[in-house]
Chain A
Amino acid sequence: MSRIELARLSAEQVVALSRQHARWEGIRTSTARADRAAANDGVKAAYRAARLAPPDEIIWCEGPLEVARAGAQTGHAVAGENVKALIVDSVLRDVAYAVDAAIGSEVRTQIAGTFRTHPPNQTSAAVIAAVTLRDPLVQERRFQFVRQLMRRLQGGTLPRWMRTSLRDSGFSQHDAPSLGIFQFFHDTCGLKTQTERLTGLIQAATNIGWMLPHSRVCWLVDRHNILRTDDRGRLHSANGPAIAFPDGWSFYAWKGVALPAWMIERPHEITAARIDREPEPVVRRCMIDIMTPEKYIREGDAVPIAEDDTGILWTKSWTTWDSWAAVQVRNGTAEPDGTYRQYFLQVPPTVQSARQAVAWTYGLTELEYMALKQRT
């Protein structure tokens, strides 16, 4: 006898699926204050669903810095082993297996396009990396040489077990959307028996920023209160941090590249000389981007290497393998005062002429760009 309980989704269920997806995508990037009471209840239920006793203590923290300090103070012996594999991964696997046995192949096709887990969400991957791959206690130190010294001498100040827990065994609002499909089956499709064990985790996941579940202590972290991205979903903020938590932990980024805070907070301190001294090529380009290529060309020693009727090609070489280029072009339409506005576009340093550079900006070859009939 077939065990399939859901052969295909009805039109109403498809609409509900899309609503549920939107709701979980909202949870992913939410900066609203967490509902601590609801999260506490959810955590206890999640432990029970994994056949574990609820933690002796649930400790709330306002961000990565506070959770690192709290973890360092508590100690591994008191906290117990990390149980994320039991309360999240194992339960999720069991529920997925049960649901898979209860749905028809047509349902699998219907849900495949909505709740995608691959490729991973770019913003979430960047936030998780920013929060977990650095030691918050080292990151908070003010002077860079102290930070570097701490890294060399101790590999950070966070105990190793806590670092592992944060990096590999936490669960965050950015992981939470993987639960959305099961809430949909639970709430909308009547697959309650199959998904019941996840309801506690779902309740917790919708009300936290981060969770570090250990057998006797569970640390819960508020949501980030700032999360800024550009239109491509990359961490980016031209004024202030791209990510911040209520405890003061913050992370600065420009078009997806992590930067020291001063470059964003005090962009006027970026000079051509500082750009030339910066050893990291990607950071150097961010500095030029923030300063603007126009100002960098004016103040630095970039040189014009080619000119034609499309514009002027400027380049700057720092080493034999690291060069930068920008093309200076003129607007096709005059300003009301009769002048023409100039603007600068950064292009690959491999281009040889201004025309080739402009053609590249449109994804064309120099020859293809010769077909330009009108430019305004």
Chain B
Amino acid sequence: MKELYAQGDLLIERVSDICGRSIPPATDCAVVLAEGELTGHNHTVFGKLSFFRDDGLARDIPRGLYIGHIAIDAPTARVTHQEHAAIDLPTGTYRVRRQRELDPEDARIVAD
């Protein structure tokens, strides 16, 4: 069963299978997952973790949404944002993606 966490326009999905990929070693760090262009606000994850990108593990995510994977090697890691309450993620591997909106250009497809 999937487990999803949403913080504003960011979606974090717990994944069990990373198809035997090797995960970089975890370190105590802070990783900015996404940053607002206008506000400068950001979604940041703090804790003992590693962040990596593997497009092969995101083929089912629509193009442009995939941000990366985080592997947490501690009881919890905290995701923060200036305007949203923090989320504590338990140990595990997660796939992070951003939210999208229908673009005006897509109306060409819809109207056709």
How far is A374 from B94 in the complex, measured between Cα atoms in Å? 14
Known: A345-B99, A371-B4. A285 touches B83 (CB 8 A): no
Whether A282 and B104, one on each chain, are in contact in the complex, defined by CB atoms closer than 8 angstroms, is: yes
Q: Is A75 an interface residue (CB 8 A)?
A: no
8 A Cβ contacts from A151-176 to B:
none
Q: Which residues of A contact B102 (CB under 8 A)?
A: 346-348
Known: A371-B1, A373-B4. A361 touches B107 (CB 8 A): no
Q: Is A349 an interface residue (CB 8 A)?
A: yes
Within the complex, the shortest CB–CB distance from A340 to chain B, in Å, comes to: 12
8 A Cβ contacts from A321-376 to B:
321-324, 331-333, 345-350, 361-364, 368-369, 371-376
Within the complex, the shortest CB–CB distance from B43 to chain A, in Å, comes to: 11
Total A-B Cβ pairs within 8 A = 96
Whether B62 and A361, one on each chain, are in contact in the complex, defined by CB atoms closer than 8 angstroms, is: no
How far is A323 from B100 in the complex, measured between Cα atoms in Å? 19
Q: Which residues of A contact B2 (CB under 8 A)?
A: 368, 371
8 A Cβ contacts from A281-316 to B:
281-286, 289
Whether B97 and A281, one on each chain, are in contact in the complex, defined by CB atoms closer than 8 angstroms, is: no
Within the complex, the shortest CB–CB distance from B72 to chain A, in Å, comes to: 15
Whether B101 and A345, one on each chain, are in contact in the complex, defined by CB atoms closer than 8 angstroms, is: yes
Q: Which residues of B contact A216 (CB under 8 A)?
A: none
Q: Which residues of A contact B110 (CB under 8 A)?
A: 281, 322-323, 348-350
Chain A positions near chain B (C-beta within 8 angstroms): 231-232, 254-257, 281-286, 289, 321-324, 331-333, 345-350, 361-364, 368-369, 371-376
Given pairs A363-B97, A364-B11, 20 additional interface contacts (CB within 8 A): A255-B105, A256-B105, A282-B105, A286-B104, A321-B111, A322-B107, A332-B84, A332-B85, A333-B83, A333-B84, A333-B85, A345-B99, A347-B102, A348-B110, A362-B97, A362-B99, A364-B4, A376-B7, A376-B81, A376-B84
